[in-house]
Structure 1
Amino acid sequence: MSDEISRQQFLKLLSAGGASLFGLSAGLFGQENRGPISPWARLKYPGRNGDNDDWNVHPNGDLNLIDAMQDQTTLNFDKRWNVAEVDKLTTLTPFPFLFMHGDVAPELDDTERANLREYLLRGGFLFAEDCVNGKRHHGSLNDEFFTQMVDEVPKIFPDAKLERLPYDHPVFHCYYHFYSGQPHMQGQQHGLHGVTVNGRLVMLLSPSDTHCGWTNGDRWFGTGKQMEAFKMGCNIYLYAMTQQGSIISDVQKAG
């Protein structure tokens, strides 16, 4: 996978910034303590009934999360909104982490599913989250994106299981602690679900609209809920990039 070098650089960055892989020191860090820039990308996908515009709802939420993670960790992000197209594998592989968001049910074909499978098997990670009412295409409080993604999992990985993560899963404790699981913003409350392949968590599915907390959480839910959303996003990103079974094993052996 073309992102292997960038992921090694990412992990070396954490230690270079005076942070352990699962216990970063929070606070404001100067640019001199940061390392190579990590990219952020949103997955572009076709939606139900030919809706090709729902995937990019509220792009400022992604940028707000980047600001929060850069402020609280030694991570160094390129504050730019990249696009990875699900029908083109070569646009997926430059990014070790992809965010997929919308309220319209995705309509993936076999080629697009194969691209996602190959991307994830090469070491990539997908965080797919339901948007309660993104562009008002289908009213409010629906969770058809989440429901459809649940149906997509066995088509992408026939031998893998989609399971609701228990509250003691490391994704809830790798940086900030969430003793009651994922913080819930709005919509249906199904909990955070994960897909594990060969011992590595490759995909997270969420119906809890954490992204709306990133977008205008202080106005929509209150400052406290907004901060919970930022912290959960930080946990998800850090766990995806440093979990056992990924390139971290090789970096640890090399160190």
Structure 2
Amino acid sequence: MNRLLITGLFIYSLFSSVSAQQVAVLQYEGGGDWYSNPTSVPNLVSFCNQNISTRLDPKVATVEATDPAIMQYPFVHMTGHGNVYFSDDALLNLRNYLNAGGFLHIDDNYGIDQYLRPQLQRLYSDEELIELPASHPLFSVAYTFEKGLPKIHEHDGIRPQALGIFREGRLVLLYTLESDLGDGWENPEVHNDPAAVHEKALKMGANIIKYVFEN
């Protein structure tokens, strides 16, 4: 059964919906560049619609962490290089969103980790980030990644990790670290990525989208 996001009057189901679903990029506080990689999520949406039979709205929204309208978006993506801060209002809004069935994907664009982890601890003080093993369905739901999260851009020679927060057995937040998926989703000429690298990043992104809406 497709995963439903039920909040008030809203019921979302990606693969069975008549109208296209819209995904969003998260605008957060703290001064970090939440707006980096502007072509990445639109490119991922286009790839998913063409290759895994989704019907996502090609127009990607922007939603502030404090905005209750976040409930409209079953999938929210967050990225950046620098400082991240969630006010108490933002934490409450994000927690309500995730507990109601929403999903947040955070992709480290290199440099966000030291700022992000304390905020995630504030978001769910009773939960820890858990590394997803290569055997997790996330890595085989559409395309197979036998070694787990792929490395797209090299920074410090550290292996990539897919870290998750689970609530009542459901993955509500995915944090991809030392992979730089978002850079790989961007137009190839932005980072001079070979076609194979660009495709690999998009395929992993498609896995995330498909997993989110089918679980």
What TM-score, normalized to structure 2?
A: 0.88
Q: Which has the higher contact order (CA 8 A, sep 6+)?
A: 2
Look up the match of 1:57: 36
Q: CA offsets, 1:55-110, max 9 Å, x none? A: 1112111111111111102211211121111012x221110110001111201122
**Structure 2 contact 27–63 (Cα < 8 Å) conserved:** yes
Cα offset, 1:127, TM superposition: 0.1
**Structure 2 contact 27–35 (Cα < 8 Å) conserved:** yes
Cα offset, 1:148, TM superposition: 2.4
Using the alignment, how far apart are the partners of 2:51 and 2:92 within structure 1? 36
Kindly indicate whether residue 118 of structure 2 is the aligned counterpart of residue 114 of structure 1. Answer: no
Matched residue SS, 1:114: helix
Kindly indicate whether residue 89 of structure 2 is the aligned counterpart of residue 83 of structure 1. Answer: no
Give the aligned residue type for 1:106.
V
Cα 1:4–1:166 change in 2 (3 A) is: farther
Q: Is there any run of 5+ residues in structure 2 with no aligned partner, and where? A: 1-6
Using the alignment, how far apart are the partners of 1:122 and 1:146 within structure 2? 26
Alignment of 1:105-184 (within 5 A): 105-132=83-110, 143=111, 145-184=112-151
Stretch moving more, 73-82 or 36-45: 73-82
Give the aligned residue type for 1:231.
K
Using the alignment, how far apart are the partners of 2:208 and 2:9 within structure 1? 19
**Structure 2 contact 150–160 (Cα < 8 Å) conserved:** no
Using the alignment, how far apart are the partners of 1:68 and 1:81 within structure 2? 13
Kindly indicate whether residue 37 of structure 2 is the aligned counterpart of residue 12 of structure 1. Answer: no
**Structure 1 contact 43–98 (Cα < 8 Å) conserved:** yes
Cα offset, 1:241, TM superposition: 1.4
Matched residue SS, 1:79: coil
Give the aligned residue type for 1:81.
V
Alignment of 1:184-199 (within 5 A): 184-186=151-153, 187=155, 188-199=158-169
What TM-score, normalized to structure 1?
A: 0.75
Q: Is there any run of 5+ residues in structure 1 with no aligned partner, and where? A: 14-34, 133-142, 244-255
Cα offset, 1:189, TM superposition: 3.3
Task: Note the aligned Cα RMSD (angstroms).
Answer: 1.7
How many equivalent pairs are there?
204
Q: Identity rate of aligned residues, in percent?
A: 27
Matched residue SS, 2:66: coil
Look up the match of 2:4: none
Kindly indicate whether residue 205 of structure 2 is the aligned counterpart of residue 233 of structure 1. Answer: yes
Please point out which of 42, 48, 51 is paired with 1:72.
51
The structure richer in helix per residue is 1
Look up the match of 1:46: 29
Using the alignment, how far apart are the partners of 1:4 and 1:39 within structure 2? 13
Cα 1:77–1:148 change in 2 (3 A) is: same
Cα offset, 1:150, TM superposition: 2.3
**Structure 1 contact 146–205 (Cα < 8 Å) conserved:** no
Using the alignment, how far apart are the partners of 1:189 and 1:69 within structure 2? 26
Look up the match of 2:3: none
Cα offset, 1:2, TM superposition: 4.7
Give the aligned residue type for 1:153.
L
Using the alignment, how far apart are the partners of 1:183 and 1:217 within structure 2? 17
Cα 1:151–1:241 change in 2 (3 A) is: same
Max Rg structure: 1
Using the alignment, how far apart are the partners of 1:43 and 1:228 within structure 2? 24
Q: CA offsets, 1:124-167, max 9 Å, x none? A: 000011113xxxxxxxxxx2x12322222221112212111100
Matched residue SS, 1:43: strand
